[in-house]
Chains A and B, each alone.
Chain A
């Protein structure tokens, strides 16, 4: 028997807080997620020798400052600020580190605590192009950019607002079983359509609610018992130099290689998480992964998403659970890992063995320039 490789052994997540109290801090939220992930894996902080951190609001502190605050002694440490692509980026690096023997037990954590002013400052000055070319023009934050992208996707695919609404309603149904989700009350299509328009064609319910929170994952070089194995991962960064149409993400470029390496295809996936900063992008990624084609999106939503024939964003996604800054990408990775580990309690899906997770983000001028994905599979005891 060949020696088993590394595995994901535990997950942890804080509640998504819309109105955290005054004592809430980024470091405190990250610590809470790390603690719950370690408890789920029956590990103590003294066993951790690797730490990866993604956060916009931990500044001026960095990953190593968090290690000091948590009392961790490390052989491996990394920091990542690629937002929605951070979780899978860190997973890919951590996996190689474990295989290379650089660490035995790595915790990956992502999260942010936002005050209203923190968030306004983050979006206005997200990067140099936002700061110098978009915000001064009156184009503030990602909503107007993804509104224009959604408008083009509607023209290209025939999607109507009702179709995006059906996706949002389906995700809200999943969120109802996630005690950490920001929004759990049922959503109807009528509610969706009645929500105020924020940047046409986007309504308020097309935009992720900003929350404070954190998500974490524990990986071990030589896991015991049930674990989750990374069987394939791919990434594209600045794939099209922002000169493409943005309706296709970097995932389209690597999907054939991803599935070939996994030895599995979209049809083998029992649980799926796609990065849902906006419904248009969740759909673009499902197309790019090969779950459907751009020509059949309205039918795909009706046949496979609203019916739960395809299990997508089963914790509610960011559209209902909330987007805690850089924790956004980690939210989906944690949910798929949790389902494959059998740790999802009341919302545990049955018979799930394989899953795929995507990351997307870091808007430069018009749309996200980072895309990555991981195919995960459950390994038995």
Chain B
């Protein structure tokens, strides 16, 4: 249960989604790295469209401990900023995209 991010082979900096060159050191090779947990930075809810089974909750999260900041979809409504989240991937429109659910505290 994790999200695959891209780690620079030269300096270890993680980004998501992938870039062509590392924004820190400029190296052009990266390797997959997985991030399991994240912390909630902000969230919002999209206007409900026809066919939506549940509200579409979008969040900005920061990978823990030093993963990148990502925009993800949440399984449920979160409770508070700073909350711990479990990351996972779900295939949507042919692409594995980052989702998260809240972790009981």
Contact = CB atoms under 8 A, between A and B. Distances in A.
Chain A, interface size category, equals 20 to 34
Given A132-B17, A144-B58, A366-B60, A137 B73 contact: yes
Interface of A: 129, 132-134, 136-140, 144-145, 147-149, 151-152, 155, 198-202, 241, 243, 365-366
Given A132-B95, A202-B44, 7 more contacts: A132-B17, A137-B92, A148-B60, A151-B44, A199-B44, A199-B45, A199-B46
B71 A138 contact: no
B103 interface: no
Contacts of B45: 199-200
Interface residues of B, number: 24
B44 to A, nearest CB: 4
Contacts of B43: 148, 151
Given A137-B97, A155-B81, A148 B44 contact: yes
Interface in B37-61: 41-47, 56, 58-60
A138 B17 contact: no
Contacts of B60: 148, 366
A136 B46 contact: no
A202 B58 CA distance: 14
A198 B93 CA distance: 24
Contacts of B46: 138-140, 144, 199
B97 A144 contact: no
A129 B56 contact: no
B33 interface: no
A138 B42 contact: no
Given A139-B58, A152-B42, A200-B45, A133 B81 contact: no
A138 B56 contact: yes
Contact of A134 (B42, B59, B68, B71): B71
B23 interface: yes
B72 A129 contact: no
Nearest to B52: A138
Interface string B71-82: 111000000010
B69 interface: yes
B97 A149 contact: no
A201 B59 CA distance: 13
Contacts of A243: 23, 68-69
12 contacts: A132-B95, A136-B93, A137-B72, A137-B92, A139-B56, A139-B71, A139-B73, A147-B44, A148-B59, A155-B81, A199-B47, A202-B44
Nearest to A241: B23
B67 to A, nearest CB: 12
A274 to B, nearest CB: 22
A252 B83 CA distance: 30
B6 to A, nearest CB: 13
Contacts of A138: 46, 56, 58, 73
A152 B71 CA distance: 14
B15 to A, nearest CB: 8
User: 6 smallest A-B Cβ distances: which pairs?
Assistant: A148-B42, A147-B44, A241-B23, A136-B93, A138-B56, A199-B44
